[in-house]
Amino acid sequence: MNDDKLANLWSVTHPVSGKWGWILVYGLLLIAFGIFALLNPLSTGLAAGLVFGVTLVAYGAFAIAAGISALTTGARVLEMLLGVIAILAGLFSLFDPFQGAASLAWAMGFWLVVSGISQLGYGITGAYHKAWRVLLGVLDIALGAYLVLSGPVSGLVFVAAIVGFSFLFRGLFLTTLAFALRRQPAA
């Protein structure tokens, strides 16, 4: 095979501008899924709970496998214990996906509270960006406390909003990118 053929195989020889239609379709589908997720928080919560459950079961299986091959007894026991806990939590989420999604929101709320306390500490004792850190700390604590203290329906709505806005903004980006590529001259 000569160098020209190899270059054609491994380099971008076809103009990307000719593929803008596929990017546009992908972007529009993501926008539609994002709107669906925002308008149907129960369906989105169910899907998030199922994905969360499958992820935990897979993580648990890999953690047990890693525990079997661990070099030290302490690492072996820890990895296998974490694997069993993850599998149990994953099965719980698979059998009750709404509670799985709600627990995901609760965990995110707890993380936000811890992050907010950390930001407040840096804002008070740090030398730079004090006001921003205090503002972010207060915001994180407020959002986190809301998620931790609110009921499961609020948690499902939160998960739906995260998924929906993520799809929506990603779709808007890809749609804008597709139209920008369409304007590129063909090579």
Residues 6+ apart with CB under 8 A from 106: 147, 148, 155
Q: Is residue 58 part of a domain?
A: yes
Instruction: Report d(CA 74, CA 72) in Å as an integer.
Output: 5
Tens-digit pLDDT profile for residues 93-126: 999 988 888 888 888 889 889 999 998 998 898 8
1 part of a folded domain: no
Instruction: Tell me if 185 is assigned to some domain.
Output: no
Residue 8 lies in a domain: no
Residue 15 lies in a domain: no
Instruction: Give 48-70 pLDDT, tens digit per residue.
Output: 889 989 999 999 999 999 888 87
Does some domain include residue 105? yes
16 pLDDT band, cuts 50/70/90, is low
Which amino acid makes up residue 83? G
Indicate the number of domains in the chain: 1
Q: The whole model's pTM is what?
A: 0.65
Q: Is residue 14 part of a domain?
A: no
Q: Which domain holds residue 79?
A: 20-179
